Chains A and B, each alone.
Chain A
Amino acid sequence: MTEGRGTTNANARPPWRSRWWLPVWSAGLGVAMLIAAALGGDALGGLIIAASFFVVAGGLVIAERSESLRGVGGPAGDERFARIEVGSMATAGRAMGLAVIVAWIIALANGDDGASFTWVLGIGAIAYVISLTWRRARY
Protein backbone atom coordinates (compact mmCIF):
# COMPACT_ATOMS: atom_id res chain seq x y z
CA MET A 1 0.00 0.00 0.00
CA THR A 2 1.31 3.41 -0.93
CA GLU A 3 1.63 5.71 2.07
CA GLY A 4 -0.56 8.81 1.82
CA ARG A 5 0.69 12.31 2.32
CA GLY A 6 -0.67 12.49 5.82
CA THR A 7 0.83 9.25 7.09
CA THR A 8 4.07 8.33 8.75
CA ASN A 9 6.29 5.86 6.92
CA ALA A 10 8.10 3.91 9.63
CA ASN A 11 10.83 2.91 7.18
CA ALA A 12 11.69 6.51 6.24
CA ARG A 13 13.17 7.49 9.59
CA PRO A 14 14.59 11.03 9.56
CA PRO A 15 18.17 11.47 10.78
CA TRP A 16 17.07 13.31 13.94
CA ARG A 17 15.33 10.11 15.08
CA SER A 18 18.68 8.86 16.35
CA ARG A 19 18.91 8.04 20.06
CA TRP A 20 21.69 10.61 20.22
CA TRP A 21 19.61 13.50 18.91
CA LEU A 22 18.23 14.80 22.22
CA PRO A 23 21.49 14.43 24.21
CA VAL A 24 23.50 16.16 21.46
CA TRP A 25 20.86 18.89 21.19
CA SER A 26 20.94 19.43 24.96
CA ALA A 27 24.75 19.50 25.07
CA GLY A 28 24.82 21.84 22.07
CA LEU A 29 22.48 24.24 23.84
CA GLY A 30 24.80 24.16 26.83
CA VAL A 31 27.78 25.07 24.66
CA ALA A 32 25.79 27.88 23.00
CA MET A 33 24.79 29.24 26.42
CA LEU A 34 28.40 29.06 27.61
CA ILE A 35 29.67 30.98 24.57
CA ALA A 36 26.89 33.56 24.88
CA ALA A 37 27.52 34.06 28.61
CA ALA A 38 31.28 34.32 28.03
CA LEU A 39 30.73 36.93 25.34
CA GLY A 40 28.50 38.76 27.80
CA GLY A 41 31.25 38.75 30.43
CA ASP A 42 29.82 36.07 32.72
CA ALA A 43 31.81 32.98 31.88
CA LEU A 44 31.26 31.45 35.33
CA GLY A 45 27.48 31.79 35.00
CA GLY A 46 27.76 30.28 31.54
CA LEU A 47 29.72 27.34 32.91
CA ILE A 48 27.01 26.67 35.50
CA ILE A 49 24.29 26.80 32.85
CA ALA A 50 26.31 24.60 30.49
CA ALA A 51 26.97 22.10 33.27
CA SER A 52 23.23 21.77 33.92
CA PHE A 53 22.61 21.15 30.23
CA PHE A 54 25.38 18.52 30.18
CA VAL A 55 23.79 16.82 33.19
CA VAL A 56 20.48 16.71 31.30
CA ALA A 57 22.27 15.31 28.23
CA GLY A 58 23.89 12.62 30.36
CA GLY A 59 20.55 11.79 31.96
CA LEU A 60 18.98 11.40 28.53
CA VAL A 61 21.68 8.92 27.52
CA ILE A 62 21.32 6.94 30.76
CA ALA A 63 17.50 6.91 30.57
CA GLU A 64 17.53 5.68 26.99
CA ARG A 65 15.24 2.75 27.84
CA SER A 66 12.36 5.10 28.64
CA GLU A 67 9.67 4.91 25.94
CA SER A 68 8.96 8.63 26.29
CA LEU A 69 12.59 9.62 25.81
CA ARG A 70 13.07 7.24 22.90
CA GLY A 71 9.82 8.48 21.39
CA VAL A 72 10.59 12.20 21.61
CA GLY A 73 12.95 12.55 18.69
CA GLY A 74 14.27 9.07 19.30
CA PRO A 75 14.15 5.65 17.70
CA ALA A 76 10.85 4.60 19.34
CA GLY A 77 8.81 7.17 17.48
CA ASP A 78 5.82 5.72 15.64
CA GLU A 79 2.41 7.08 14.66
CA ARG A 80 1.07 6.92 18.22
CA PHE A 81 4.04 8.83 19.57
CA ALA A 82 3.84 11.29 16.68
CA ARG A 83 0.29 12.05 17.80
CA ILE A 84 1.41 12.35 21.41
CA GLU A 85 4.22 14.67 20.35
CA VAL A 86 1.90 16.93 18.35
CA GLY A 87 -0.46 17.27 21.32
CA SER A 88 2.41 17.90 23.70
CA MET A 89 3.96 20.50 21.42
CA ALA A 90 0.60 22.26 21.10
CA THR A 91 0.23 22.33 24.90
CA ALA A 92 3.78 23.65 25.30
CA GLY A 93 3.13 26.29 22.63
CA ARG A 94 -0.03 27.46 24.39
CA ALA A 95 1.77 27.59 27.74
CA MET A 96 4.66 29.56 26.26
CA GLY A 97 2.31 31.93 24.46
CA LEU A 98 0.38 32.58 27.64
CA ALA A 99 3.61 33.08 29.61
CA VAL A 100 4.90 35.59 27.05
CA ILE A 101 1.61 37.51 27.06
CA VAL A 102 1.62 37.68 30.88
CA ALA A 103 5.29 38.74 30.89
CA TRP A 104 4.52 41.35 28.24
CA ILE A 105 1.70 42.81 30.34
CA ILE A 106 3.93 42.85 33.44
CA ALA A 107 6.70 44.57 31.46
CA LEU A 108 4.26 47.25 30.26
CA ALA A 109 2.98 47.72 33.81
CA ASN A 110 6.57 48.22 34.98
CA GLY A 111 7.12 50.98 32.45
CA ASP A 112 9.14 48.90 29.96
CA ASP A 113 8.26 48.97 26.28
CA GLY A 114 8.02 45.15 26.15
CA ALA A 115 9.61 45.16 22.71
CA SER A 116 11.31 41.78 23.13
CA PHE A 117 7.97 40.16 23.99
CA THR A 118 6.39 41.83 20.97
CA TRP A 119 9.05 40.18 18.81
CA VAL A 120 8.50 36.76 20.35
CA LEU A 121 4.72 36.95 19.98
CA GLY A 122 5.08 38.28 16.43
CA ILE A 123 7.35 35.41 15.43
CA GLY A 124 4.95 32.93 17.00
CA ALA A 125 1.96 34.43 15.20
CA ILE A 126 3.75 34.48 11.84
CA ALA A 127 4.93 30.89 12.30
CA TYR A 128 1.35 29.84 13.11
CA VAL A 129 -0.09 31.51 10.02
CA ILE A 130 2.61 30.07 7.75
CA SER A 131 2.10 26.59 9.21
CA LEU A 132 -1.68 26.84 8.90
CA THR A 133 -1.45 28.01 5.28
CA TRP A 134 1.05 25.32 4.34
CA ARG A 135 -0.92 22.51 5.98
CA ARG A 136 -4.21 23.65 4.44
CA ALA A 137 -2.56 23.57 1.01
CA ARG A 138 -1.00 20.17 1.75
CA TYR A 139 -4.07 18.43 3.16
Chain B
Amino acid sequence: MQNEVRTLRAEAGLSQQDLGEAVGVSRQTINSIEKERYTPSLPLAIKLARHFSRTVEEVFRLD
Protein backbone atom coordinates (compact mmCIF):
# COMPACT_ATOMS: atom_id res chain seq x y z
CA MET B 1 0.00 0.00 0.00
CA GLN B 2 1.46 3.36 -1.06
CA ASN B 3 0.40 6.70 0.37
CA GLU B 4 0.86 10.45 0.12
CA VAL B 5 0.82 11.17 3.83
CA ARG B 6 4.35 12.54 4.01
CA THR B 7 3.75 14.88 1.05
CA LEU B 8 0.40 16.09 2.35
CA ARG B 9 1.76 16.59 5.85
CA ALA B 10 4.68 18.60 4.52
CA GLU B 11 2.34 20.73 2.41
CA ALA B 12 0.24 21.39 5.50
CA GLY B 13 3.34 22.34 7.50
CA LEU B 14 2.62 19.76 10.18
CA SER B 15 5.05 17.69 12.19
CA GLN B 16 4.48 13.96 12.62
CA GLN B 17 3.61 14.69 16.24
CA ASP B 18 1.01 17.28 15.20
CA LEU B 19 -0.62 14.92 12.71
CA GLY B 20 -0.54 12.03 15.18
CA GLU B 21 -2.29 14.12 17.82
CA ALA B 22 -4.85 15.30 15.27
CA VAL B 23 -5.88 11.77 14.33
CA GLY B 24 -5.27 10.09 17.70
CA VAL B 25 -2.14 8.01 17.14
CA SER B 26 1.51 8.25 18.12
CA ARG B 27 4.24 10.07 16.18
CA GLN B 28 5.87 6.70 15.55
CA THR B 29 2.70 5.38 13.92
CA ILE B 30 2.61 8.35 11.53
CA ASN B 31 6.27 7.69 10.77
CA SER B 32 5.56 4.01 10.03
CA ILE B 33 2.65 4.93 7.75
CA GLU B 34 4.80 7.43 5.85
CA LYS B 35 7.51 4.84 5.38
CA GLU B 36 4.79 2.43 4.18
CA ARG B 37 5.77 -0.15 6.76
CA TYR B 38 2.38 -0.01 8.46
CA THR B 39 -1.01 -0.07 6.73
CA PRO B 40 -3.52 1.86 8.84
CA SER B 41 -6.98 0.60 9.67
CA LEU B 42 -9.88 1.88 7.59
CA PRO B 43 -11.04 4.31 10.35
CA LEU B 44 -7.54 5.78 10.64
CA ALA B 45 -7.18 6.01 6.85
CA ILE B 46 -10.46 7.92 6.70
CA LYS B 47 -9.38 10.22 9.55
CA LEU B 48 -6.12 10.98 7.72
CA ALA B 49 -7.89 11.62 4.44
CA ARG B 50 -10.46 13.88 6.09
CA HIS B 51 -7.72 15.76 7.89
CA PHE B 52 -6.21 16.68 4.52
CA SER B 53 -9.66 17.21 2.92
CA ARG B 54 -8.98 14.40 0.48
CA THR B 55 -10.62 11.11 -0.32
CA VAL B 56 -9.05 7.90 0.94
CA GLU B 57 -8.18 6.96 -2.65
CA GLU B 58 -6.27 10.22 -3.07
CA VAL B 59 -4.16 9.50 0.01
CA PHE B 60 -3.77 5.72 -0.23
CA ARG B 61 -3.46 3.44 -3.22
CA LEU B 62 -2.74 -0.21 -3.81
CA ASP B 63 0.64 -1.09 -5.28
Contact = CB atoms under 8 A, between A and B. Distances in A.
Interface residues of B, number: 12
A114 B60 CA distance: 54
B46 A80 contact: no
Contacts, number: 33
> Could you say which interface size class chain A belongs to?
10 to 19
B29 A79 contact: yes
B46 A78 contact: no
26 contacts: A1-B43, A1-B46, A4-B43, A7-B41, A8-B41, A10-B24, A10-B25, A11-B24, A67-B28, A71-B26, A76-B26, A76-B28, A78-B25, A78-B26, A78-B29, A79-B25, A79-B29, A79-B40, A79-B41, A79-B44, A80-B25, A80-B28, A80-B29, A80-B32, A80-B38, A81-B26
Interface of A: 1, 3-4, 7-8, 10-11, 67, 71, 76, 78-81
Interface of B: 24-26, 28-29, 32, 38, 40-41, 43-44, 46
